[in-house]
Structure 1
Amino acid sequence: MRARAGLRPAWLVAGFLSVLFSGTVVSANSLLPPVTEYVQARVVEFDEIPSDRRAVLDSFAKDLRSQLAAGKPVRLTFICTHNSRRSHFGQVWAAVAAWHYGVDGVSTFSGGTEATACNPRSVAALRRAGIDIAAAADEPNPHYTVRYADTAPALVCFSKVYDAPENPQTDFFAVMTCTEADQNCPLIHGALARISLPYKDPKAFDGTSEEADRYDERSRQIAREMLYVFSNVAGTLTTPR
């Protein structure tokens, strides 16, 4: 059945349900209250994103819009060396952003060039941002159940290689969150596109007085940029370009 001319795709209509009232973003889908507060604080920070970085994010959003407009799902795999810090931040905040802006058809994953464990400092930073993370079993590579909304499917976060069976094998977007993985993986088999979004590693501050602040800083940056991308995808971007 052919859609009538002038009708917007369902994913775009959903995105337009995110509107501004007195400068406060009202989510198309409700988040947990602490996460809502955190997201609202990040959305007003879009102008902190440097112009060169914004250009990369705009191109990323354009690719996602094209995929969704073609009626195809968006699968995002965030990749870093150990799948312990930045790639998990990317997986979680991209899921939050897509849900917040009502962009359907998005699934997020993460992986590394080797498997270690999701770092407990990353878990602590996400909890400080309001994410509900269930205590995991005491094992070398714990599996964490991550919730950011009452009605959204939970994420299960643990360290794995990027091509592990739990992750998509074809037709996914590979988002490289660290320069090491970007350099060590010249080819990501099965990826529709490769997006280079390197972030500084908070690991350098492990065991120091700055540890929590640096993890929170990286979490904020990644959340801000994922919200920017999905605001763009949903057609609700209000920051000047």
Structure 2
Amino acid sequence: MPHHLIRKLEHFTRLSAADKTALQEIATRVQDFDADADIIREGDRPEHVHLVLEGWACRYKQLEDGRRQIISFFMPGDLCDTHVFVLRAMDHSIGTLTPVRLAGIPRERLLDLTARHPRITQALWWETLVTVAVQREWVVNLGQRSALERLAHLFCELFVRLRTVGLVEGDSCPLPLTQTELADATGMTTVHVNRTLQELRSAGLIILKGKRLTIPDLAALQAVALFNPNYLHLEHDGAHFDAND
């Protein structure tokens, strides 16, 4: 069930009981994918909006020589492009990083949902704006931040996003990413990623064990990363609207 999506959308606006019920009912056409599989490829015609229920996926572009750039990570509660069905053909690919369970939301169902529930529409617009803001921050990562800052910033972002949907336990969160996947997301080589991870570990800023990330002092890691969570817009005023407004 899409409870992670509901929890995330509630950061953008106050949802009514009817809104939540409607969101619970959109999880149709549930599919399971193995790790390292394509959900949809560049050039395919999109017919559904995909909602991640379980597992991790990514948006990526691949060059003809095989090099890959991961453009974003998807985790439980994330929609893989809310308005993707307007495209005649995908201009990027979406693939799994772990085993993934997805709900496919048909175009007609999503349009009906937004027509009948204005607060869901408002929340989905905010979700889209945050997705674009994250993309801008990743551009800054690739263009201006050092290797240490890049990885530290990515870890801060993932931790905060996971905390938003209730997937953080204390100072620890899941991180099922390989060093190759971290390299593909940060524009670094795997050797450079390995060296930078060792630097972060030696400084006591992170602990990586059993596909989990522990951040003993989040404020310290944020300082190293020059991380400001404002682009995630988690304290939007809409979250404080009265439910009867």
TM-score (norm 1): 0.22
Structure with more helix by fraction: 2
TM-score (norm 2): 0.21
